[in-house]
Structure 1
């Protein structure tokens, strides 16, 4: 029994370590890092810094950039003029007017020469040769020869690509998953489908088929694991499924995606929330409203922003600003609450609220970035 208890404690402690999250904050003009209790784990000491990625955070010392580890010590010495965040174990750094990739130990990755270098994301980086774009792997070798006129941001392992005026989609191995034959295409690959436009008609691309939507003049990306997405017809918005069928007829002035079975919709200038049957479950009363995060909270606005739960109860009063377009994390679809905390701005500065509506550490900062995993 003692052995079992010891193993359980070890497992819990290991999980805690793996789940560590730090946030970059600025206080008295210096940058440092806090944990999710609000306590400093790296005291404010840097003139400039960036959030952690792949266990490293960029920091400025004596006008040169390097990278620190979670103890706050430089593990890649400050010798660079500019640096980017790590992704897929690699980061772009600028030294002697030359961009190059380094790994988390500072070792340089050998790659083919290029006129321009791009950040890695989801295990690949764009590679340009002349006017064409291909894909570079984390081993420094080309995965895809420069073939396309454009390759956009990878999301869920897929990216939209273009040849001439037409668009399709590839995966991170460079394989075509949607043929390049659409006038428009969504930028997010979901199991429920991707919207597209072909021969002037909007529809949903699903399981290799293009399913036209009757008279749609705009369609939006599927969100999360929802089987419905929103679309507009003659200045009204409704919801369609993967087959391109109108499940909820377009009668709303505006709408956003379903999450947790609820979607924000506007009637006139007031926003409320409907369920997937089209029943209004939170009456229109807000000047603006966003989708629910996975923890069951949504940003809503009167004169300023606050948060409600799925019952419509205000958890955090509508007294705050929230960062631009809710773009808390690069590539993240979460808006508002991220991993149990919401970042907000008041006249006192930036801070974080938890799900109980309490200000983390009862403290405001000059700047505050999202919490990110450091393991």
Structure 2
């Protein structure tokens, strides 16, 4: 059960994010994964069956499947091999110089050379290192506590996954011109921080504004497909449609590009739009 749970969580994160260090996962003509930059230039050739996302200049990728699962290695931003993790599983990518690895019976951290650190193992963990703190547990699925970058426990209190996520979440209400969504008569629009209506409620679904763009649904959809977040247009801060395009499993901006998929449940290939709402196509 632990194996299944971990794979589900990890596969969702892999499907959701192929971006980091300005690189974006794409599927090549050979149906394998590689990485492009925000202009569509291929930076890492499509040689991999499965990929995670780049962080701290490193990424976990897999070229083969064994009877124990996927065989994961770590590469740098030009595709060079850095280290492998044997038959183990990357629970996280790198953050602040560390990644959490699992054998499915215990977990530990490695540095960017692939060397185990802290001389300790745990039964579970939640998230990456952030601001010098990571959360681990001596039990599975619960009782998480914080450690520092030396592996030392910081407090005696323990937390649930939900509580950890709340502690790790950012809550910046960013800019003075931020737009806040509101609903009226089952349609969505946007107000500014003063409460003035900036965009009239005329959309069936809205996401959030990032880089001056927001994904919305302008056409009524009588049915909602499970495992899909479907939007069909991008609008600017004036409410004008800048691109009407079907976007399944919409993820918004991941770095400099908007990420979405061609079909529900992260199927149909991954696609990208730039900050002008235009498609970015890999230049193989």
CA contact under 8 A between 1:159 and 1:187: conserved in structure 2?
Answer: no
- TM-superposed CA distance for 1:120, in Å, is 0.9
Query: Is the alpha carbon distance of 1:83 and 1:111 closer, same or farther for their aligned partners in structure 2, counting shifts above 3 Å?
Result: closer
Task: Say yes or no: does 1:96 pair with 2:64.
Answer: yes
CA contact under 8 A between 2:72 and 2:87: conserved in structure 1?
Answer: no
5 Å-filtered alignment, 1:208-223, equals none
What does residue 24 of structure 1 align with? none
Q: Distance in 2 between matches of 1:85 and 1:94?
A: 12
Query: Is the alpha carbon distance of 1:85 and 1:222 closer, same or farther for their aligned partners in structure 2, counting shifts above 3 Å?
Result: closer
- TM-superposed CA distance for 1:322, in Å, is 4.4
Q: Distance in 2 between matches of 1:86 and 1:294?
A: 31
Cα distance per residue 1:252-299 (max 9 Å; x no partner): xxxxxxx58xxxxxxxxxxxxxxxxxxxxxxxxxxxxxxxx7643212
Cα distance per residue 1:221-254 (max 9 Å; x no partner): 88636xxxxxxxxxxxxxxxxxxxxxxxxxxxxx
What does residue 189 of structure 2 align with? 306
User: Could you tell me which of 122, 132, 144 is aligned with 1:167?
Assistant: 144
- TM-superposed CA distance for 1:107, in Å, is 0.8
Q: Which structure 2 segments of 5+ residues have no match? A: 1-14, 66-70, 221-230, 258-284
TM normalised by structure 1 equals 0.50
5 Å-filtered alignment, 1:78-227, equals 78-97=46-65, 98-123=71-96, 124-129=98-103, 131-154=105-128, 156-157=130-131, 158-164=133-139, 166-179=143-156, 181-182=157-158, 184=160, 186-188=163-165, 224=171
Higher strand share: 1
Query: Is the alpha carbon distance of 1:222 and 1:372 closer, same or farther for their aligned partners in structure 2, counting shifts above 3 Å?
Result: closer
Q: 3-state DSSP class of the match of 1:343?
A: strand
Query: Is the alpha carbon distance of 1:173 and 1:298 closer, same or farther for their aligned partners in structure 2, counting shifts above 3 Å?
Result: farther
What does residue 268 of structure 2 align with? none
- TM-superposed CA distance for 1:184, in Å, is 4.2
CA contact under 8 A between 1:49 and 1:59: conserved in structure 2?
Answer: no
Q: 3-state DSSP class of the match of 2:53?
A: coil
What does residue 265 of structure 1 align with? none
- TM-superposed CA distance for 1:153, in Å, is 1.1
Task: Say yes or no: does 1:363 pair with 2:243.
Answer: yes
Q: 3-state DSSP class of the match of 2:88?
A: coil
Q: Distance in 1 between matches of 2:210 and 2:219?
A: 22
Q: Which structure 1 segments of 5+ residues have no match? A: 1-47, 195-220, 226-258, 261-292, 327-335
CA contact under 8 A between 1:91 and 1:119: conserved in structure 2?
Answer: no
